[in-house]
Amino acid sequence: MESRRSSVDNKRKTRQGLMLFLLSGGLLFFLLYMGINGAATLTLLADRFRKEEVVSTEDKTPPTRPSLVDFPKVTREPEITIKGYSEAGTSVGIYRNDKLITEVQVGEDSKFSAKITLEKGENIIAFIARDKAGNDSEKYDGNVVIFDNEPPFIEVTSPVDGQEVAEKVLVIEGKTEGGSKITANERIGTVDADGNFTIKYTLAEGENSILLVAIDRGENKTEKTLTVKYSP
C-alpha cells in the first residue's frame, strides 16, 4: 500500500516539474521576444525624433511659392475651386483680401486644390506655402477674381423707342455695364471702359424690332427690345 502511494506521489511531482519547466521556458521566451521588439521600437522612435529634430533645427530654406492653373478672372459663381502646384509635403495657406480662409496639404504629386467662397466684387487671392520645418515661402498675391452674379443694365439714349426715322442706317447709342458686350439683332456694338456703347444698324422699310443683348464679364445677360419705324 505504501509503495503504491509513493509511486503516485512521484508521478505527481514529475508532472509538476514538467509544467514548471514549460512555464519557465515560455516566460523566458516571452521576455526575450518583448525585449527585442521593445528595443527595436525604442530605436525607431529615437531615430524618428532625431530626424524631426534635425529638420526643425537645420532646415532654414523656405519652399518655393505656389503656382496656379486655370485661375478665373470673373465668375458669377459664389464658390470656385482653386488648383495649383507647390512643394510636396508643404501646406498652403489661402488668403482672401488679406484674411486666411483655409489651409490645404500638398500631395506627393505636388498638386493642391481647394474650394473657396467669394465676396461680391473684387477678391484678391494670395497663397503662402509652409514646410514641415516652419519655413514660409514668398507670398504669391496679385490674383484677382471678380464675383459678379448681377445682370448688366441697358439704357438707350438714342433713338427713342417707337421713333420714326428717315435714315436707313440707324445709330443706336446708350450705356451699359463697363466691360460688357452688346449686340443689336446679333450685330456687334462697341463699348468703352465706362459702358457707353454705339451700334450701327441697317433698317428695313417699315417697322423694325431690334433685340438688344448685353452680356457682362461674368456671363450675366440682359435683353431689351427697341422698336423703330423706317420711312424713307
**Residue 20 pLDDT more than 50?**
yes
Q: How confident is the model at residue 224 (pLDDT cuts 50, 70, 90)?
A: very high
Q: How confident is the model at residue 13 (pLDDT cuts 50, 70, 90)?
A: low
User: Cα(99)–Cα(2) distance, rounded to whole angstroms?
Assistant: 97
User: Cα(94)–Cα(92) distance, rounded to whole angstroms?
Assistant: 6
Task: Return the pLDDT at 40.
Answer: 46
Task: Return the pLDDT at 142.
Answer: 81
Task: Return the pLDDT at 31.
Answer: 43
Question: Backbone phi, then psi, for 163, in 5-degree steps?
Answer: -70, 145
The mean predicted confidence, pLDDT, of the chain is: 85
Higher pLDDT, 31 or 7: 7
**131-170: pLDDT as tens digits:** 999 999 999 988 999 999 999 999 999 999 999 999 999 9
**24-28, 67-71, 84-88, 200-204 — which is least confidently predicted?**
24-28
The neighbouring-strand residues paired with 13 are none
C-alpha cell at 11: 508521478
Percent of the chain with pLDDT over 70: 75
Domain 154-230, what fold? Immunoglobulin-like (2.60.40)
User: Cα(103)–Cα(206) distance, rounded to whole angstroms?
Assistant: 64
User: Cα(143)–Cα(72) distance, rounded to whole angstroms?
Assistant: 9
Secondary-structure breakdown of the chain: helix, strand, coil percentages, each rounded to the nearest 5: 25, 45, 30
**Residue 10 pLDDT more than 70?**
no
**98-111: pLDDT as tens digits:** 999 999 999 999 99
CATH C-level class of 67-147: mainly beta
Residue type, 161: D
User: Cβ neighbours of residue 221 under 8 Å, at least 6 residues apart?
Assistant: 151, 152, 213, 214, 215
